[in-house]
Amino acid sequence: MIEYSKAVEIILNSTKTLGLEKVFLDRALGRVLAEDIHADRDNPPADNSGMDGFAVRYEDIKGASEENPAILEIIAESKAGGELVKVEPKTAAYIYTGGLIPEGADTVVQKELTKVEDNKVFIFQELPKGSNIRPQGGDYRKGDLLIKKGKKLRPAEIGILSSVNKPTVYVYQKPRVAILTTGDEILDVGEPVEKLSQIRTSNTYSLYSQVLEAGGEPVVIGFAKDNPEDIQKKLEYAKSCDILLTTGGVSVGEYDLVKDFVVKVLGVEILFWKVKQKPGKPVAFGVWGREKEKLFFGIPGNPVAAMVVFENMVKPAIRKMSGEEKVFNPVINAKLKGGYKRKKGERVEFIRVSLSLTDDGFVAQPFGKQGSNILTGMVYAHGFGIVDVGVTEIKDGETIKVSVFDKSFMDGRYGD
């Protein structure tokens, strides 16, 4: 049995980032950028106007006031996407937001400060030279580094990619994650219940969805009974994947065959089995494949344990494989409502909490039923409160670290 922190260290040291692929922009959301993005031009490409109004020479509006307006003849127009025009002394050009600053002009007077009569503009106020001009390269210069490799692409980055004329972009490949569900008692959705002892799967599809959320490509490779032939047969389907997740069958029971068979069928080298954590103690981890570049996680069958192990151990590996720099869920400090007590402090414990954001900061509310088989506790949870090794009590109102797997409480959804 090893320490939790050691287990995570072994996992990340065994995880290699995958290769690259090219995707079109409309498929780039949430992918991890695998190339640095530089500017193809200056932005703005030339000085342009930040307002609708008149492009003038500062010289000509110097000293203008309500009583003594500057009166300039309007001789041109500059609109967004238009041609470069010119102003002469004592003249002005109509200009619109995004219009090029005319040759000879150095200042833009917003429409609100002017009046037009007989093709002449009256300007009632002096403005500083250069007013309302967005300078060439004010946002960025040609060649500037705009987005660094490793960034997870959001709408803003995708906007920038298109503005620098990239219809396709290199991103890291997503790991293919095989999910094998084991257990004589487990039924897939849709299968008829024939015996009282049968259990409908939850792990298959909670893991599937967690893989999607983490940025992986889930593949359900099947449901295996607790017998050598079936496990052996179904494991064959894992071969085309980067990560194999099995659920169930990694405890010490006679029917817990998974560990032995991943070694036999896939050549997995087991790097650890059993971690000092609650829930999720009997988790197994190993590497396989030609260069030991593939990962195996033997996840315990208890539904909550499965979800906890995924968030804390599998998700960081998926994120590292897909090129992300930040691999862990964010950890925040919250005030623990009601407190938490336990008898022994030998293992790190992850307790399900719902979070709310109050005037007093984050508040974490644990659920009454914390058993690793109580899946309904997960429905209202936003994070795992971390009770460290050696800690047996956290009092009401004391601070607890919470590893947040769901940020939806930020939208005001507080466990409803």
Residues 240-259 that bind ligand AMP (CB under 6 A): 247-249, 251
Residue 171 beta carbon to ligand AMP: minimum distance, rounded to whole angstroms: 32
- Is the CB of 99 or the CB of 248 nearer to ligand AMP? 248
Q: Which residue stretch of 46-54, 107-115, 299-307, 323-331 sits at the interface with ligand AMP (rule: CB under 6 A)?
A: 299-307
Number of residues that bind ligand AMP (CB under 6 A): 17
Residues 194-213 that bind ligand AMP (CB under 6 A): 199, 201-204
- Is the CB of 91 or the CB of 201 nearer to ligand AMP? 201
Separation of alpha carbons 284 and 275, rounded Å:
8
Residue 283 beta carbon to ligand AMP: minimum distance, rounded to whole angstroms: 10
Separation of alpha carbons 312 and 203, rounded Å:
16
Closest residue by beta carbon to ligand AMP: 301
Q: Can the peptide bond before residue 128 be classed as cis, meaning omega within 30 degrees of 0? A: no
Retrieve residue 25's tokens. Answer: 């922009």
- Is the CB of 249 or the CB of 385 nearer to Mg ion? 249
Chosen from ligand AMP, Mg ion, none, partner binding at 356 (C-beta under 5 to 8 Å by type): none
Residue of the chain from 43, 48, 246, 302 that contacts ligand AMP (CB under 6 A): 302
What single-letter DSSP state applies at residue 312?
A: I
What does the longest C-alpha to C-alpha distance in the chain come to? 99
Q: What does the binding site for Mg ion look like in residue numbers (CB under 5 A)? A: 183, 248-249
Residue 300 beta carbon to ligand AMP: minimum distance, rounded to whole angstroms: 4
Chosen from ligand AMP, Mg ion, none, partner binding at 204 (C-beta under 5 to 8 Å by type): ligand AMP
x-marked contacts with ligand AMP along 170-189 as a string, rule CB under 6 A: -----------x-x-xx---
First to last CA, the chain: 38
Separation of alpha carbons 189 and 204, rounded Å:
10
- Is the CB of 143 or the CB of 371 nearer to ligand AMP? 371
Q: Is there binding between residue 303 and ligand AMP (CB under 6 A)? A: yes
Separation of alpha carbons 337 and 365, rounded Å:
5
Retrieve residue 220's tokens. Answer: 């359900």
Chosen from Mg ion, ligand AMP, none, partner binding at 300 (C-beta under 5 to 8 Å by type): ligand AMP
* Long-range pairs for 225-234: beta carbons < 8 A, 24 or more residues apart: 225/182, 225/183, 225/184, 226/182, 226/183, 226/184, 226/255, 226/256, 226/257, 227/257, 228/257, 228/261, 231/182, 231/257, 231/258, 231/261, 231/265, 232/261, 232/264, 232/265, 234/180
Q: Which residues bind ligand AMP (CB under 6 A)?
A: 181, 183, 185-186, 199, 201-204, 247-249, 251, 300-303
